[in-house]
Amino acid sequence: MLEAFGFGLFPLPAYRQTRHEEWQVVRHLASLADGYASGTGVEPERYVLYHGRTAWMSTGLMEQESHAWHVAQATGNVVAAGLGLGLYAFAASLKPEVERVVVVEREPAVIAVAAAAADIASWPGRHKLLLLEGDALAPETARAVMDAIGGRPPDYLYADIWPVCADARAPAETAAMVAALTPRAAGWWGQELAFVHWCRDQALDITPAAFARYAAETNVPVPVSAGYVTFCAEVGLANGLPPGAARRTIWQRLLRRRQ
C-alpha cells in the first residue's frame, strides 16, 4: 500500500473477548474475507464488535484498509467520532505528530467494552487520548470537544459512526460535524466508495479534480492527493466500479457489512 498510494497499514492493539450489556467483542477464526481495496484472501483471526447481532466494527483487513488513509491524515489535534474497537484511536495516538485524540462515543457500554477488550489503559498513547461520551452530532458535544482542545479547531476530524460502509447519511452528517468544529481537514469512513459512486453518477473520471469537486459539494475539507485518488480508484475496482472492470465477490454483494 505504502508504495502504491503513499500510505500504509497501521499497528493494532491486542484484543480479547469481552461483553458489556448488549455489546460484545467476539473473536472469529481465520476465514476468507474481502479487503476494501485488495481482493479476497484468507484473513487471520479477527475481532468483531457486536451490538446484539449487528456487527459494528472488526479488526479485519477491510477495516484496516478503509481506516489507513484517515490514520495517515492524523496530526496535531485529532477528533474521532465513534470509538468502536478503538482501532483509529490507538493508531492515531501512537503517531509522534499527534498531540491529542478526542474520541466522541455515544454508547457508554462501547467505551466500557472497548476499554476492556483492547486494554486501553495500557496503550502507549493513552496520555494523549480523551474519551468523551456524547452524540457526535449534538451541539453540546461540539462545545465539549472544543473545550478539550483549548478552543483551537481540530487538525483532523475522522467521522465513523455508521455500521454500513458508505452509508448515505455519512457525507451530510460529516458536514454537520465539520460546520460545528471547523477542522482544518476531515473525512468519513467509506468516503472513497461514496466518491467513486458519485463519479459514476456524474459520468466523471476518478481524478484529483473530481475529488476536489466532490469535497466542495459535500462541504467536507478532504485533503486530496494523487496517491489517494489512485487508492479511491482501486476501491472502486474492488467494488465493481466502473461496471465491467471487475466482478463483485459474494462478500461484497452482502451489503459490505462490517462482520
Ligand X SMILES: C[S@@+](CC[C@H](N)C(=O)[O-])C[C@H]1O[C@@H](n2cnc3c(N)ncnc32)[C@H](O)[C@@H]1O
What is the nearest approach in angstroms of ligand X to the Cβ of residue 156?
Answer: 13
Sheet of 98-105, strands arranged across: 129-133, 98-105, 76-81, 156-159, 186-188
- Candidates 36, 56, 69, 211: give the one binding ligand X (CB under 6 A): 56
Stretch 65-124 residues interacting with ligand X (CB under 6 A): 67, 81-88, 104-107, 110
What is the nearest approach in angstroms of ligand X to the Cβ of residue 189?
Answer: 6
> Which residue lies nearer to ligand X by CB, 34 or 105?
105
Helix runs in the chain, H state only: 2-5, 61-73, 87-94, 108-117, 139-148, 170-181, 191-202, 208-218, 226-238, 250-253
Stretch 188-227 residues interacting with ligand X (CB under 6 A): none
Counting residues that bind ligand X (by CB under 6 A) gives: 21
Alpha carbons 206 and 143: distance in angstroms, whole number: 37
Stretch 139-178 residues interacting with ligand X (CB under 6 A): 160-161
The three-state secondary structure class of 141 is helix
Residue type, 79: V
Concatenated DSSP letters of 3-50: HHHS-----------EEETTEEEEEE--EEEE-SSS-EEEE--EEEEE
What is the nearest approach in angstroms of ligand X to the Cβ of residue 213?
Answer: 27
Q: Does 57 bind ligand X (CB under 6 A)?
A: yes
Residue number, nearest CB to ligand X: 84
Could you give the string, one character per residue 123-142, with x where binding to ligand X holds by CB under 6 A and - elsewhere?
Answer: ------------xxx-----
Residues in contact with ligand X by the rule CB under 6 A: 56-57, 67, 81-88, 104-107, 110, 135-137, 160-161
